[in-house]
Structure 1
Amino acid sequence: MAFNRHALQADLVANQGSAKGRLVMKLFRLGQALPPRVRRLYHPVYYVIVDIVMGISLPLQTQIGPGLILRHGQGIVISWKSTIGDGCEIHQNVTLGEKDNAAPQLRNNVTIGANAVLLGGITVGDDAYIGAGAIVLTDVPAGAVAIGQKARIISSPTRGHAG
């Protein structure tokens, strides 16, 4: 895969106020551009720096458009099966996770608030906003705002409750 200078430049501009975001995106774009043999050697270094030290799980296989903003990047987990369009913004503690062997697909200019969880083969349309703490299991149309979560009781305790 050839080095995508345009994507890196857009990432750097998008993360102007975040040294962490800039570093992660530099390492990500560099890793994607390496030939497979060199990438195998680079991957452990990338994993240690980005995943373990910085707390961002961003696999090199992930397809990401230019201008990804990692806002307060900590605790972010992105499936390698996800795709992320141009100009998206992901806040801390967000998960784009797999369900039934499929992962979320973000179109362009999607914003995902802190602590949101998106699971399965869903599509989030252009210019959509996912609110903080939302749990998203279905498609989100372009321009829509998705908020909230709903817990439900699946069993009752047989003994006293902790308190």
Structure 2
Amino acid sequence: MLLLDDLRAKQRLYSQYGDTCSLLKAIMADGTSANVLYRLQAALARWRLAPLALIPHWLNKSLNGCVIGVKAQFGPGFVLIHPVGVVINSSVRGGRNVWLESSVVIGDNRGGCPTLGDDVFIGSGAKVIGALHIGHGARVGANAVLLRDVPDGATAVGIPARVR
């Protein structure tokens, strides 16, 4: 189940810091309710109940300040560390273990949306815009404005983002 994979990924985040109650903390932490509502909305959309998917979509926007398009797809281990200000277009596709900080925008630029590989981290305030690909294990720094592809294992920082 994708939601359990998301919680396990968040538990791994907290256990890195030696937290002995990491599963409980993962359940109670910022972003968990946003993850739950996103997974519910995605399931409803998959089951061809798209009008009902708008209910968790609206709740996520209202309660968490997080807008994730109804048709956006992320693999298991998707983590919203802090969901406030996160905006994700419906056409975005993400792999396994995608971690997002607050105020991340992932969207369209007149020609397509980004795709994200596995094990991707996007820092607070980053903007990922257009038909580009972020490779496996890539990192996007805080407040970066990403307009081009990021290869596997690379880091992109700055405005506009430069790959290192």
Give me the TM-score of the superposition, normalised by structure 1. 0.81
From 88, 94, 103, the equivalent of 1:93 is: 103
Bigger radius of gyration: 1
Corresponding position of 1:129: 139
The answer on whether the counterparts of 1:13 and 1:67 sit within 8 Å (CA) in structure 2 is yes
Corresponding position of 1:46: 56
Corresponding position of 2:125: 115
Tell me if 1:62 matches 2:72.
Answer: yes
The share of aligned pairs that are identical, in percent, is 32
Corresponding position of 1:157: none
Alpha-carbon distance, 1:40 to partner: 1.1
The answer on whether the counterparts of 2:137 and 2:152 sit within 8 Å (CA) in structure 1 is yes
Task: Tell me, in whole angstroms, the C-alpha distance in 1 between the residues paired with 2:83 and 2:40.
Answer: 19
Corresponding position of 1:153: none
Alpha-carbon distance, 1:100 to partner: 1.6
Alpha-carbon distance, 1:42 to partner: 4.2
Structure 1 segments unaligned to the other structure (5+ residues)? 151-163
Which structure's residues are more often helix, by fraction? Answer: 2
Q: Name the SS of the counterpart of 1:146 in structure 2.
A: strand
Write out per-residue CA displacement over residues 27-68 of structure 1, whole angstroms, 9 at most, x where no aligned residue. Answer: 22222223324x41341x213310122111112211110011
Q: Count matched residues.
A: 143
Q: Name the SS of the counterpart of 2:31 in structure 1.
A: helix
Alpha-carbon distance, 1:101 to partner: 3.1
Write out per-residue CA displacement over residues 114-139 of structure 1, whole angstroms, 9 at most, x where no aligned residue. Answer: 11101000000000010001111000
- Tell me which stretches of 4 or more aligned residues in structure 1 moved more than 4 Å: none
